[in-house]
Amino acid sequence: MKKHLAILLLAPSLFLASCDSDDDDKGPIEEVQDTAANLWENSDIVGSWSSDCAAFDALGNALDISAKQTLIFGGNNLTRSYVLYEDAACQTKVGDLQYEGNYELEKDAQDRGDYAGLNSTIKTVKVTPNSDFLVSAFNNITWCGVSNWSVDKTVEVTGTIGQGVCQIPVDINATTYGLVYAKGKTVYLAEPLAKTTLVKEERPVEVDKSVTFNKQ
């Protein structure tokens, strides 16, 4: 390989219905269906979701690599993992990148039942090189302040992100406001990586369907 690398890589509201509310006419089955229709009110997103192989453009001055992504939503915990490959077909693995943090869902601003605002906060970032090539590239530039990278050794780089060549596009301990769509066994996010906004009022209004996450 001949690439230069500098990596990144409501609870539901409680309603007090008046005696003459139309809701009084709803049976228990209809009420359950109403609740389940709103992604932000239920746990449809909980679980593990994985994407197919796709180009991975999150590396600054990038290495031409590809990645498979996995999202894990559990309770209020979020893990976003990338398995990195040196080829477009995701055949030869070179490393792993993992974000860990938490999340919460908010009602979609346009009241679309299968959409929800995704507020996430990344707290840690870990990198594991799985090839001699990646280890050599990291050590040659003391990437993220580490000069003793080794194969299959996981290193947390949270504290050095943004310093020198350690440019991973994530805002540590800052809440970003994104968008998620979930229906059946499919999930889409507002962006392929984490290009959401730190300003709630600027939350994306559409998801990006170029990367599909399927329920595992």
Task: Give the model confidence (pLDDT) of 16-36 as tens digits.
Answer: 333 344 444 444 433 333 333
165, amino acid identity: V
Q: Which two tokens stand for residue 168?
A: 């991973």
- With beta carbons less than 8 A apart as the criterion, state whether 167 and 60 touch: yes
Burial class of residue 2 (count of CB atoms within 10 Å of its CB; 0-12, 13-18, 19+): exposed
Report d(CA 188, CA 72) in Å as an integer: 13
Q: What is the pLDDT of residue 64?
A: 66
Residue 38: band (very low, low, confident or very high) from pLDDT cuts 50, 70, 90:
low
Strands in 30-130 per DSSP E = 47-51, 54-56, 65-74, 77-85, 93-107, 115-129
Average pLDDT over residues 174-197: 80
- The pTM for the full model equals 0.75
Q: What is the pLDDT of residue 27?
A: 46
Q: What is the pLDDT of residue 138?
A: 86
Mean pLDDT of the chain: 78
Average pLDDT over residues 97-126: 92
| Residue that the structure tokens 């780089």 belong to | 157
Average pLDDT over residues 120-128: 92
The percent of residues in the chain predicted with pLDDT above 90, rounded, is: 43
Residue 196: band (very low, low, confident or very high) from pLDDT cuts 50, 70, 90:
low
- With beta carbons less than 8 A apart as the criterion, state whether 146 and 166 touch: no
Task: Give the model confidence (pLDDT) of 137-173 as tens digits.
Answer: 889 888 888 999 999 999 999 988 777 777 776 778 8
